[in-house]
Chains A and B, each alone.
Chain A
Amino acid sequence: MEIRFVLNGRNTLVETSPDRKVTDLLREDLGLTGVKEGCGAGECGACTILVDGESRLSCLMLAAQIEGRHVTTIEGLAQGEDLHPVQEAFVEHGAVQCGFCTPGMVLSAVHLIENLSGPTREEIREGLSGNLCRCTGYTMIVDAVEAAAAKMRGEGSS
């Protein structure tokens, strides 16, 4: 079937099977390999995308469900060469090690900050609790999200 949706700000038309997993559609058919598949069961968050601005698991969505929706992947977050403040903060705070969880972690953080402009460290941990990281121990990720939220509120420098 033909599916029309807005992908990273661009009108997109794909021909695919309606029951294709959205992770596979994005990675394999559309080349957006920033979307990762970890567990395939909703427990790791590596496949996180934003659908109409809300964080969702692309491994538990089928292609037919994104018809008419706005989908954002990690590839659509930067404005040209300018990284999103959350991406910038991840770089500055060393919040990345192997990088496999990073796209999902960043997108969950973007969704969190959009709903809660001044999250506490506890709220950040809670907000990212569906995204697993096996390298960093999370401390630097929480530091990065805290700094990004402050920057997006127009406070402090980094």
Chain B
Amino acid sequence: MREVHLPRSLEELWPLLDRRPRAALYAGGTDLLVRMGRGMENPAALVCLERIEELKGVNEHGDHIHIGSCTTHSRLLAHPLVQRHLPVLAQAVKTLGSPLIRNMGTIGGNLCTASPAGDTLPPLYVLEAEVELRSGGRVRRMPVREFIRGPGVTCIEEGEILTGIRVKKPARDLLHHFEKVGRRNALACAVVSLAALIGFSPDGVVRRAALAWGSVGPTVVRCPEAEEALLGQRLSADTLQRAAALVREAVSPISDLRADEHYRRRVSGNLLLRLAERPRPGSSGIPPGCCSSK
């Protein structure tokens, strides 16, 4: 039998982590309890964070949005601030797991699991999100791209937890785009995914581009060369093909059960081509980043 603790506040949590420094922490349990069930982990004690209300919810602070780490994917998806300001994140969360997984799993858990296929990661990279880490004594903030060190590895330290995610509200006229290729629609682990945030000049030329791929490297892959190839251009098929060729060079996918390396490399580039079909923000009255994913 193993201890299971359910602290109700951070005040209750800190002394508990002092007493049980080796305890495994979880919120939704959709990763940890699966690994325990398969005998891959066997912690002596568990701390479940799901009852700590101060770790839940989405709030606006001036020009930033703060997302509590224990906010479930379902709550995130339903939240007006996420729908209005962070459509690229909403599009990704919509494809994550299944409704049941989304009712349990949290954005903080998705980050701490640090899977190369984590669906919320590419959007958080293009949004240049920051994580907030707390322990009993201190608070640290760092960009998500620094927080994630490798597959399943983050820079979280003993006695520390991820308390929240901070995102600067993106300009309202950006194109938000997320697409995931999996083996099936529901409950699909990404074979390749792409998150894109694109800004246009009034004449339809790209003035800024942020692109991030999931599942094609040990962590999320950015490709500054491809972003640069889009700058000053219209998103024509030719421009996107040129950027796609650069992406296929930049990614470092592996072959696994879901797909082989060559397929992943090819699809990483191909996913960019879809950007030509996306309605431009502000055109035809479609709101920026209006969700068209399945």
Contacts and interface: CB of A to CB of B under 8 A. Distances in A.
A136 B122 CA distance: 36
Interface stretch (A42-50, A78-86, A87-95, A145-153): A42-50
In the complex, which range does the number of interface residues on chain A fall in? 20 to 34
Interface residues of B, number: 27
Contacts of A112: 99
Given A65-B50, A129-B98, A60 B4 contact: no
Contacts of A60: 28-30, 33-34, 104
12 contacts: A17-B1, A18-B3, A19-B2, A19-B4, A42-B34, A42-B97, A45-B98, A64-B48, A108-B100, A129-B185, A130-B97, A130-B186
B48 A40 contact: no
Given A43-B187, A64-B48, A55 B29 contact: no
B37 interface: yes
A91 B48 CA distance: 39
Contact of B6 (A17, A43, A67): A67
Contacts of B97: 42, 130
Interface string A129-146: 111000000000000000
A41 B37 contact: yes
A127 B103 CA distance: 12
B187 A129 contact: yes
A56 B100 contact: yes
Given A54-B103, A56-B104, 9 more contacts: A19-B46, A40-B37, A41-B34, A41-B37, A42-B34, A42-B101, A112-B99, A130-B98, A130-B187
A3 B105 CA distance: 23
Contacts of B1: 17-19
Contacts of A63: 4
A2 interface: no
Contact of A130 (B6, B37, B101): B101
B33 A55 contact: no
Given A41-B37, A42-B30, A65 B6 contact: yes
A19 B44 CA distance: 11
A30 to B, nearest CB: 19
A25 B111 CA distance: 30
Contacts of B100: 42, 45, 48, 55-57, 108, 130-131
A122 to B, nearest CB: 9
Contacts of A57: 30, 100-101, 104
Sorted from nearest, which 6 A-B pairs have the closest CB atoms?
Answer: A130-B98, A129-B186, A130-B100, A64-B4, A18-B4, A17-B1
A127 B101 contact: no
A141 to B, nearest CB: 14
B46 to A, nearest CB: 7
A112 B100 CA distance: 11
Nearest to A54: B103
